[in-house]
Chains A and B, each alone.
Chain A
Amino acid sequence: MSATLLLVQTLNGLQFGIILFLIAAGLTLVFGVMDFINLAHGVQYMVGAYFAAAFVAWTGSFAAGLALALPAALAFGLLLEVVVFRHLYDRDHLDQVLATFGIILFLNQGVKAVWGAAPLLVPIPPALSGSIELMSGLLYPVYRLAIIAAGLAVGGLLYVLVHHTRAGMLVRAGATNAAMVSALGVDIRRLFMVVFGFGAMLAGFAGAMVAPILSVEPGMGDNILILAFVVIVIGGIGSIRGAFLAALLIGLVDTLGRSFASNILRLVLDPSMASQTGRAIAPMLIYILMAAVLFFRPTGLFPVKR
């Protein structure tokens, strides 16, 4: 276990965290402002990836494909909002769980019907297809650095939007007390629609960015959904800053844990026991982390609602 390896794994962990942030950002906004449990966020991510795959194949260029996929994801999100979600804002969380669960089933099957069950290929844009030699023998794809850059940019953009614009002020106010905002004369329906659409677009953007490195297949959003919920719960629902930090934390814990858990355990257990225990514990680490955070801070690290 060398220092270089540790550095490289840290970079990997941060990159994973950034992807998680891109996905969780939209979810925390929707949840925070509208108190709406959107289990369908995972399939919105998946649909974004599929749109990207389709448009890239159609136009032959990644940039064009991405540029088309974003409004498509936005439109799709708004469609879901108008047809289904809008009627559920006043309802119990359980009705929202039921409806969004149904949407998951429908869309997972739907993309399979349209695009087939086999994983789709999205080629990396030629401009970003080079690699940097991080350590001897290991090249790090430039595209992954682009993802990190994109994630940081989105994070910065969100921060500016939420904290330094009037719209952002409304969003923050809505997250704290939606009824009051409505009472003050703001068109809460429009606000919700904007927030939801933006959230859907963020999820779609995450899906599109990730498509060239991870396979695009039905059900790809399901496990990510759980991770996204873990992120926003640890970070505190409604808080972008919380989502960012929690996402990085989870990315690091998961990646470093998987790489080094067995090594660390080897200090106290014999090698085969260490590797077996390490393997068993590694996937549990983020859940243990979440349980621990919730034990000390039952509303997450940076809760928005007082």
Chain B
Amino acid sequence: MTGLPAEAAQTAVAPPARWRGCILPLVLFGLFAVAPAFARHGGEGYILALALRVMILGIAAMSLDLILGYGALISFGHAAFLGIGAYAVGILMSHGVGDAFGQLAAALAASALFALVTGAISLRTKGVYFIMITLAFGQMLYFLATSLAAYGGDDGMTLPRKSLVLGTRILGEGHTFYYVVLACLVGAYLLCRAIVASRFGRVLRGTRENPVRMQAIGFNPLAYQLAAYVIAGALCGLAGFLLANQTEFVSPAFMTWQRSGELIVMVILGGLGSLHGAIIGAAAFVILEEVLSRITELWKMIFGPMLVLVALFARGGILGFFRGLRRG
């Protein structure tokens, strides 16, 4: 049976499984879609900035979930792709190439290439060794970015405006950018869903369970993992492209190992291996950060233990917690 999300298999009595898996993401996207209407009631730019941040980090977290949740590949250098995407925009713009499609193509190509090269080397290792080597590559890219004095180095560089679409500044007007990002989020989600549900996705999950068995059947696990890694890298590059446009600023701070750690936390927090869980995790992380920091300067003393509690008691993150509630 193809096309069924993982969670559907676990419930005994259920309405048509296809529906069940769709409702939550639909609600999520619906909320994002109507947010601009809500925002009018106060702090419009701020709410939308927050929602944009959630969506963009959601795309990044989702790309990580693809390899982390489904492939069990813990990449501690995933923020590097955010940086690649962002710097593609920054570097091209500083050389006069302001076109969105050109920048996007460069962002995706550079991310995919970096993923291909580093993935080919990293995937030779397993477990914590894989974690460390992905970290190493992330760090190398970070140090490279800080040493590029021509592009701001450690300070980063401000972009004069958002990317031009076919020569127009349409992204800078009204809510256009917001809906473009939402479209990217939905598109990325559908893409990931399709990948996971396809034969490719099943081989990936099989490789996670038992690589030897997959090899025995005749699949080359390395090839599938590498392909997944490249796709994840490119998707995260897209997120980087959008991030640069949102902040209108590019900086090496986008790709520190702490950022990579935050992405991992978002994925786990939301619930591994569920794609929309990654978006929820990103939302929870960003919103908690905002709300708690307004309450007290020492907000990390609340946030830290919250993460510990989630790790200890909420198996499967936020989604798993609610799933557990549902089951009684």
Shortest C-beta distance, B194 to chain A (Å), equals 25
Segment at the interface with A among B14-22, B25-33, B127-135: B127-135
Known: A106-B305, A109-B301. A101 touches B132 (CB 8 A): no
Q: Mark B289-318, 1 if CB is under 8 A from A, else 0.
A: 000000000111101111110111001000
Whether A116 is near chain B, meaning CB under 8 Å from some CB there, is no
Closest to B145 in A: A280
Whether A130 is near chain B, meaning CB under 8 Å from some CB there, is no
**A294:B133 contact, CB within 8 angstroms:** yes
**B304:A109 contact, CB within 8 angstroms:** yes
Shortest C-beta distance, B135 to chain A (Å), equals 7
**A98:B124 contact, CB within 8 angstroms:** no
Q: Which of B147, B265, B272, B304 contacts A106 (CB 8 A)?
A: B304
Q: Mark A81-113, 1 if CB is under 8 A from B, else 0.
A: 000100110010111111101111111111011
Q: How many residues of B contact A (CB 8 A)?
A: 42
Q: List residues of A (13-64) whose CB comes within 8 Å of B's CBs.
A: 31, 37
A37 to B127, CA, bound (A): 11
Residues of A within 8 A of B269 (CB): 98
**A288:B308 contact, CB within 8 angstroms:** no
Whether A226 is near chain B, meaning CB under 8 Å from some CB there, is yes
Shortest C-beta distance, B311 to chain A (Å), equals 4
Interface centre among B136, B139, B268, B299 (most CB of A within 10 A): B136
Shortest C-beta distance, A106 to chain B (Å), equals 3
A280 to B154, CA, bound (A): 12
Q: Which of B137, B139, B312 contacts A87 (CB 8 A)?
A: B312
Whether A229 is near chain B, meaning CB under 8 Å from some CB there, is yes
Q: Mark A269-293, 1 if CB is under 8 A from B, else 0.
A: 0000000100110011001101100
Segment at the interface with B among A67-75, A141-149, A175-183, A295-303: A295-303
**A276:B147 contact, CB within 8 angstroms:** yes
Whether A230 is near chain B, meaning CB under 8 Å from some CB there, is yes
A109 to B305, CA, bound (A): 12
Known: A98-B268, A291-B121. A280 touches B307 (CB 8 A): no
A105 to B140, CA, bound (A): 25
**B312:A84 contact, CB within 8 angstroms:** yes
Q: How many residues of A contact B (CB 8 A)?
A: 45
Residues of A within 8 A of B140 (CB): 284, 287-288
A87 to B314, CA, bound (A): 13
Closest to A283 in B: B143
A33 to B3, CA, bound (A): 41
**A37:B311 contact, CB within 8 angstroms:** no
Q: Which of B136, B298, B300 contacts A290 (CB 8 A)?
A: B136
Residues of B within 8 A of A230 (CB): 132, 136
Residues of B within 8 A of A276 (CB): 147, 149
Residues of B within 8 A of A104 (CB): 304
Q: Which of A84, A108, A291 contacts B133 (CB 8 A)?
A: A291
**A295:B121 contact, CB within 8 angstroms:** yes
**B133:A290 contact, CB within 8 angstroms:** yes
Known: A233-B128, A295-B121. A101 touches B307 (CB 8 A): yes
A107 to B133, CA, bound (A): 27
**B265:A98 contact, CB within 8 angstroms:** yes
Known: A94-B272, A291-B133. A105 touches B121 (CB 8 A): no
Residues of A within 8 A of B126 (CB): 298
Closest to A286 in B: B136
Whether A237 is near chain B, meaning CB under 8 Å from some CB there, is yes
Residues of A within 8 A of B310 (CB): 98, 102
Interface centre among B129, B298, B308, B311 (most CB of A within 10 A): B311
Q: Mark B117-129, 1 if CB is under 8 A from A, else 0.
A: 0000100111111
A97 to B72, CA, bound (A): 14
Closest to B262 in A: A101
**A295:B124 contact, CB within 8 angstroms:** yes
Closest to A99 in B: B311
Shortest C-beta distance, B79 to chain A (Å), equals 14
**A280:B144 contact, CB within 8 angstroms:** yes
Closest to B125 in A: A298
**B304:A291 contact, CB within 8 angstroms:** no
Residues of B within 8 A of A283 (CB): 139, 143
Shortest C-beta distance, B237 to chain A (Å), equals 21
**A287:B136 contact, CB within 8 angstroms:** yes
Whether B206 is near chain A, meaning CB under 8 Å from some CB there, is no
A84 to B304, CA, bound (A): 12
Q: List residues of B (165-200) whose CB comes within 8 Å of A's CBs.
A: none
**B305:A102 contact, CB within 8 angstroms:** yes
**A98:B136 contact, CB within 8 angstroms:** no
Q: Which of A94, A97, A98, A233 contacts B129 (CB 8 A)?
A: A233
Could you write out 19 A-B pairs with CB less than 8 Å apart?
A37-B128, A87-B312, A88-B311, A96-B311, A98-B268, A105-B303, A105-B307, A109-B304, A229-B135, A233-B132, A233-B133, A284-B139, A284-B144, A288-B136, A290-B133, A294-B124, A294-B125, A294-B133, A298-B125
Q: Which 10 A-B pairs have the closest CB atoms?
A: A106-B304, A102-B307, A105-B304, A280-B147, A99-B311, A287-B136, A109-B300, A102-B308, A98-B311, A102-B304
